[in-house]
Structure 1
């Protein structure tokens, strides 16, 4: 683990102070967040802002957070830290509280730390960008933190039930519990029936790479919208077949960019430049 660097705020003579931000997680080397945030700083003219990545696990997180000094504006958090960070914060926003997951931390001038979740509004924004404002029902493939965020996002655009396809009764109970908490009717089905999900107006795939590949041959002739949260490699077999059949596809890069746009605004106070950040993400993926 690399400790959080500390040091004095040595801003430029014109008074522009250095500000720092970073993404934490384990593993973290694959993260596109530095490319997105650095592109935002360049587009916004924030020449004194820097954004790094640090390999930090749950055990090392408290020490890292204690080491944050006045130079730090905020943090982005990925797995496995989205819940581990909560006891270390002074407060959390409504979205973060709704799914018990924080992916953004903002450090105020007085040193207080506020957690928020930009995954939820980021999902909604990514769908709306593709014209998906409302759907009568939806399906979610998988369970876990991303699936919970998907249910929270669907609470804002889905007027009917959400069917979650999961493995095992424990995951099923967990997803129904999120539905009750978020005010969404969540029905659960066994993973063996997951191909049935493909006929839903909106399908959100939250499973790890490869898990949904087998469903590519089951995509209907006139599919609705697929939101596949993966972005590397892209397109997934499911997303590729979906597009071939004429369905709308929203990808993991769309989610990553939209949630990062909101992070930039929370940390800098200025709207994140969507086009510049998306271009940086696409370029970073091409370079891999």
Structure 2
């Protein structure tokens, strides 16, 4: 598989690559829905990075190593989504956050080496830092939280909560054994959560839902009644039933777009060395979703 080969590039934002152009992309399968090209292109435009481009490529499980190995010297990094977040750990040096969660969503070409990172963690705490207008994740005034789900995104949500200093955490999952396997993560963070059934939703200040589309619909009314803040990691379609009911109940609601923007800010910094304001990416993301007929 060769980057740029016909049939593999699903989005070309500025035409064929130019000589010396810095290249980045999002990889995964399926990948057509990804908003990452919109967000990163908006960042490049705002920062005046005219020699940077960002695409999307369909890369399925088992294909990542071959794809990365075929990249030339003008490649700077990749965003990665499912089903590549665990496979990426075998590609290069692993950051502390990626090793802790057992999931990587970012690959950086760093000279002669490759480093994989997890910026999904930042995707969860950055919007909360902005909402509470505090200096850092450690200053977010959340004392109790619930994580709904047991997959890679749930692990990132859990670590984000511990980064914010939350010690009272409940993880509600369909498969208890999946969460019990997080033992090394509990030891490293110093936080051991309560583990309950998926539908056993306790009262807390913050709910982070990482379940697949529609899975949390049955809990919408209960969540709206028992949670002060609802953060649903889904952004398409939006609003989800959980997001809609929580908003109608007057709860503070964050969507998957908030998370996507938060983690993209960190990716742009890793890939380009430049910092971008969240509102630039949020505006671009909302416009793209509106063009699809959805709303955020």
Same fold (TM over 0.5): yes
SS in 2 for 1:207: coil
Once the 2 structures are TM-superposed, how far is the Cα of residue 45 of structure 1 from its aligned partner?
A: 0.8
SS in 2 for 1:259: helix
Which residues of structure 1 form unaligned runs of 5+?
12-16
CA distance in 1, matches of 2:234, 2:21: 34
| C-alpha distance 219-244 of structure 1, shift in aligned 2 (>3 A) | same
Contact kept? 2:80, 2:106, Cα under 8 Å:
yes
Match of 1:32 among 29, 35, 58: 35
Residues 158 and 245 of structure 1: CA distance in aligned 2, closer, same or farther (over 3 Å): farther
Range moving further from structure 2, 110-119 or 45-54: 110-119
Checking the alignment, whether the CA contact within 8 Å between 2:173 and 2:198 is kept in structure 1 is yes
Equivalent runs, 1:207-246 vs 2, <5 Å: 207-221=211-225, 223-246=227-250
Q: Which residue of 1 aligns with 2:14?
A: none
Aligned residues: CA RMSD: 1.9
Alignment partner, residue 95 of structure 1: 97
- Are 2:292 and 1:285 equivalent residues in the alignment? no
Structure 2 portions without partners, runs of 5+: 6-16, 134-139
Q: Does 1:162 align with 2:165?
A: no
**Number of the residue aligned with 2:159:** 152
Distance 1:241 1:62, change over 3 A: same
- Deviation of 1:175 (Å): 4.4
Matched-pair contact (CA < 8 Å) for 2:37–2:55: yes
2:136 corresponding residue in structure 1: none
Q: What secondary structure, in the 3-state scheme, does the structure 2 residue paired with 1:262 have?
A: helix
- Among candidates 40, 44, 60, match of residue 41 of structure 1: 44
Q: In 2, Cα distance between the equivalents of 1:222 and 1:170?
A: 26
What residue number does 2:197 align with? Answer: 190
Tell me the SS of whatever aligns to 1:50. strand
2:108 to 106, 109, 118: 106
Distance apart, 1:67 and its partner CA: 0.8
Q: 1:96 to 1:221 in 2, by over 3 A?
A: closer
Q: How many residues align?
A: 275
Please state how far the C-alpha of 1:224 moved relative to its aligned partner. Answer: 0.7
CA contact (8 A) 2:224 2:251 kept: no
Distance 2:274 2:86 in 1: 27
Aligned match of 1:126? 127
TM-score, length basis structure 1? 0.89
State the SS of the aligned residue for 2:24. Answer: strand
CA contact (8 A) 1:151 1:178 kept: no
Report deviation, 1:223: 3.8
User: In structure 1, the residue corresponding to 2:41 is in which secondary structure?
Assistant: helix
